[in-house]
Chain A
């Protein structure tokens, strides 16, 4: 079955997007990426350590098959995020950005007003903007109106592993959006990713759930299967929920009756 995942005209094989942070080692990250089947990974933009020569992350990512999505993590203002996006574009040679404008240190919830503003500016500059946002349909609509190429509502706070906290909002966001909806953050285990996809999300983005698992490579494979299963279940059309039982076996011909 052909079911391409297309963002801004670019088709991806996998609906699972994974991060590159917090792995026990670069080698484990590379193996997890392979197991995940992802063909897009997020990266952060940070100052080079001038005092010592460090191994490059890019030595462990096959950029001929994996698309790099630079983020603006840890930016707290639209200006910081815009500046970081411009640097990411130059470092990565693509005009895509996972836009984050954080509004609160403890929850890492976005500053949605600044996020919409930064989206508007970057879209005008020709960026393909994928904003990380909260699970608010109104904000998602504003982001789409500002030209976002996808909207990326959180399932739960970044790194929390709490799963999809507000499934109905994700469903509403999917129903109203013309651009892809990617659930970004909050996944803890495979069933969370499956739930996101069953709700109709077009993709799922995660980092900690894989990188922080006891066996990141096994979890990466679990997530790959969960995203595929959830997508298939969504397309297959689930049965309605009912309060009482409906027998699966015939009621006639029961022995001795």
Chain B
């Protein structure tokens, strides 16, 4: 299934939930925030939020800054 992940085209095994996508990417869900098609998804909703073909996903975390 094709999605756009952090600005890059990417194939992921689908269909899957956001929680499953994060697990697939080996990302700790407690340390990130996720935007699905420009809307922030609450962490509590990852398990029941489906990722669909051609979704645009942003996964961010905190890095050093001023």
Contact = CB atoms under 8 A, between A and B. Distances in A.
Interface of A: 19-23, 29, 42-48, 50, 53, 56-58, 68, 70-71, 73, 83, 86-92, 158-159, 185, 205-208
A56 B65 contact: no
Interface string B45-66: 0000000000000111111111
Given A48-B6, A88-B33, A43 B63 contact: yes
B62 A43 contact: yes
Given A19-B66, A90-B43, A56 B61 contact: yes
A21 B33 contact: no
B66 A158 contact: yes
Given A44-B64, A87-B33, A207-B65, A50 B38 contact: no
B65 A20 contact: yes
A243 to B, nearest CB: 40
Q: Is the interface of A mostly helix, strand, loop or mixed?
A: mixed
A177 to B, nearest CB: 22
Interface residues of B, number: 27
Given A47-B7, A50-B25, A91 B33 contact: yes
A43 B31 CA distance: 13
Contacts, number: 103
B33 A56 contact: no
Interface string B16-59: 00000000011110011111001011110000000000000011
A257 B8 CA distance: 89
The 5 lowest CB-CB distance pairs between A and B, nearest first, are: A44-B65, A207-B66, A19-B66, A91-B33, A90-B33
A17 B42 CA distance: 28
Contacts of B25: 50
B27 A91 contact: no
Contacts of A70: 62
A24 B26 CA distance: 27
B26 A71 contact: no
Given A48-B6, A50-B25, A87-B40, A92 B35 contact: no
Given A58-B31, A87-B40, A91-B32, A47 B59 contact: yes
A73 B65 contact: yes
A23 B64 CA distance: 8
Given A48-B27, A87-B35, A91-B32, A42 B65 contact: yes
B65 A53 contact: no
A73 B62 CA distance: 12
A207 B64 CA distance: 10
A23 B65 CA distance: 10
A90 B6 contact: no
Contacts of B6: 47-48, 50
Contacts of A46: 60-63
A47 B59 CA distance: 6
A158 B65 CA distance: 12
Contacts of B66: 19-22, 42, 44, 71, 73, 158-159, 185, 205-208
Contact of A57 (B28, B59, B60, B64): B64
